[in-house]
Structure 1
Amino acid sequence: MVAPTAILQLICPDRPGLVSELSGWVSANGGNIRHADHHTDSGAGLFLSRLEWDLEGFGLPRASLPEAVQALSARLGGEGQLHFSDQQRRVALFVSKQDHCLLDLLWRTRAGELPMQVPLVISNHPDLRAIAEDFGARFELVPVSAESKHQAEQRQLELLAEEGIDLAVLAKYMQVLSGDFLGRFSPVINIHHSFLPAFTGAQPYHRAWERGVKLIGATAHYVTEELDAGPIIEQATVHVSHRDEVHDLIRKGRDMERLALARALRQHLHHQVMVYRGRTAVFD
């Protein structure tokens, strides 16, 4: 078993000596740093850091670390988030009728590739119940129409609360979440079947084929109220040719959707993603 670590994500105003101060704080408490990744956004005057260190042998008790990190962040004039590597997230998968992303994420979770639990699958169609239940997930059917959207989202929020869900993933959930939903639950990650910002909205593969593009892709991003405009986490691409028809683009695109979503989810679960100014820094 891998020994647990503490992970600090910090965003603060940039100034000289920050790397030294952060590493010195860990060192002063007897900590052994596993990973240290930093980025300076000179245009915004911001410093971003992801620092990971061993809990074993660290001078501060685990229970007191959140308060200590809050004090450190305040001293640097920034905002810090503390995570522990042995805390598995409880994830809900939202789906409609397409099964490729659902199957991929459930398989990767069972294989231990994604450090998470999937206790809940929510769908607006009954088609994927057997798949969810085969993997031991609770399947809840919540039909959605223009007239019932508000009531449906209230039920979805109740289910998320019941299962203690930390993260929702739209794994080909062909519905748009309202601002009210997003204001009451976050984060939410979506997979869009296009290399954003190109071809937002519906049927991007059809529109890509009509334009004769030679490269298609998929984009995993955090969900915001603006459609397909949330901070991008991961993208994957594949070449297409003049011989490909729309169904070929869809087939190739599904492979990219699985890949981009799994990568983005892994990066999020390992606390490698930091969101600022409507964009992300991803520390691989």
Structure 2
Amino acid sequence: MTATAAQPLVLPGDDGTHATMRLLVACPDKPGIVAAVSRFLFDAGANILRSDQYSSDPTGGAFFLRMEFTLRHDQRADFAERFGHAVAERFDIAWRLWDADRPKRIAVLVSRYDHCLLDLLYRWKRGDLGGEIALVASNHADLRTPVEAAGVPYHHVPVARDDKPAAEARLLELLGAADLDMVVLARYMQILSGTFLERLGVPVINIHHSFLPAFAGAGPYERAKARGVKLIGATAHYVTEELDEGPIIEQDVIRVTHRDSAAELTRLGADIERVVFSRAVQWHCEDRVLVHGSTTVVF
């Protein structure tokens, strides 16, 4: 018997003829939603790779669904339109569809603290972020060198205390020209106005250096030390006009003691901030987060 080299196993979609798609669904819960979505995908020639669902209450609650599937490129032309007519209208579904082969384009806003920014750049370079960092903008010039060393454009947009609208207008000009899918605040120490958020028109994720709702606003580590807490944490949330009140995506904590100074709390907290922030950004990039009022469903 002559030994022959093993042939690679080629699965459907490996030949470049298929795209991986993600479908997110939110609607009033009622029987038949999963069956209708699955049947539509089957009839469309799709192959379901992953399916996650959650109901807040099976009798009168809200229903959430995330499906990941492959679909031939030549079957995508009117897929969204057909799904809207055949399924979404029938079940009063709010939904979105995303091509997983197209990374989301991200803009990072940052001030002087570099730990969250550098962590995002590192994960992006490794291919772990799930998105593409298109630009970094800052109200300070301090972090230009590491950002440009990573091959990312850096924009210095100063914020004058007596003319903040001018800075926001300049930011909107930069961000609007970049064809973005999301903006993340990697310790950007400026409050964004409701007008700015409305005109921006894409989701914004912030990292706050406390376990919200505790110690919202400025100086949370100093206030945590004064209060004598035994746990400190970080919170990643979507930004709304109300400061630190947006829907929470991810949180984590670390134990501390009376021996830890405010400076030590800040140092320990930076590690938690990095991890929590990167998880939230990655989960959003992978379409795992659905907003439901003031909270989120994360698959």
Q: What's the TM-score, normalizing by structure 1?
A: 0.95
Corresponding residue for residue 203 of structure 2: 187
Give the aligned residue type for 2:84.
Answer: Q
Q: RMSD value over aligned CA atoms?
A: 1.6
SS at match of 2:78: helix
Deviation of residue 5 (structure 1)?
1.2
Match of 1:159 in 2: 174
Gapped regions of structure 2 (runs ≥ 5): 1-12
Q: 1:184 to 1:125 in 2, by over 3 A?
A: same
Q: Distance in 2 between matches of 1:172 and 1:89?
A: 21
Pairing 1:149–2:149 present: no
Residue 126 of structure 2 is aligned with which of 108, 111, 114?
A: 111
Q: Look up the equivalent residue of 1:182 and give its one-letter code.
A: L
Aligned residues of 2:48 and 2:70 also touching (Cα < 8 A): yes
Residues in 2 aligned to 1:44 and 1:182: alpha-carbon distance in whole angstroms: 32
Q: What is the CA deviation profile of residues 26-70 of structure 1, one whole-angstrom value per residue up to 9, with x for unaligned ones?
A: 2232322111111112286211111111124x8x72222221232
Q: 2:19–2:71: 8 Å Cα contact kept in structure 1?
A: yes
Q: 1:83-102 to 2 correspondence within 5 Å?
A: 83-102=98-117
Equivalence for 2:91: 76
Q: In the alignment, what sits opposite 1:134?
A: 149
* Cα pair 1:69 1:80 within 8 Å, conserved: no
Does the Cα contact within 8 Å between 1:69 and 1:82 map onto a contact in 2?
no
2: distance between equivalents of 1:47 and 1:12? 5
Q: Give the Cα–Cα distance (whole angstroms) in 2 for the partners of residues 231 and 245 of structure 1.
A: 30
2:140 aligns to what?
A: 125
TM-score by length of 2: 0.90
- More off after superposition, 161-170 vs 224-233: 161-170
User: Aligned equivalents of 1:20 and 1:278: distance in 2?
Assistant: 29
Which amino acid in the other structure matches residue 260 of structure 1? V
Q: Distance in 2 between matches of 1:96 and 1:102?
A: 10
Superposed counterparts of 1:192-211, under 5 Å: 192-211=208-227
State how far apart, in whole Å, the 1-side matches of 2:219 and 2:294 are: 25
CA distance in structure 1 between the partners assigned to 2:77 and 2:136 by the alignment: 33
Aligned to 1:10: 25
Residue 86 of structure 1, CA deviation: 0.5
Contact in 1 for aligned 2:30/2:60 (Cα 8 Å): no
- Give yes or no for contact 1:240–1:249 (8 Å, CA) kept in 2: yes
Q: Find the residue that maps to 2:77 and give its secondary structure.
A: helix
Where in structure 1 are there 5+ consecutive unaligned residues? none
In 2, the alpha carbon distance for the partners of 1:168 and 1:16 equals 37
Whole-angstrom CA distance in 1 between matches of 2:233 and 2:71? 39
Please identify the structure whose Cα radius of gyration is greater. 2
Letter in 2 for 1:36: S
Aligned pairs, number: 281
Aligned counterparts of 2:144 and 2:83: Cα–Cα separation in 1: 43
Match of 1:272 in 2: 288
Report if the CA contact (8 A) 1:90-1:167 is conserved.
yes
Return the offset for 1:195.
0.4
Give the equivalent residue in structure 1 for 2:8. Answer: none
Q: Determine the structure 1 residue equivalent to 2:259.
A: 243
Identity among equivalent pairs (%): 48
Secondary structure of 1:8's counterpart equals strand
Q: Which of 6, 15, 23 is equivalent to 2:38?
A: 23
Name the SS of the counterpart of 2:271 in structure 1: helix
Q: Give the whole-Å Cα distance in 2 for the aligned partners of 1:21 and 1:162.
A: 39
Question: Aligned to 1:55, what secondary structure does the other structure show?
Answer: strand
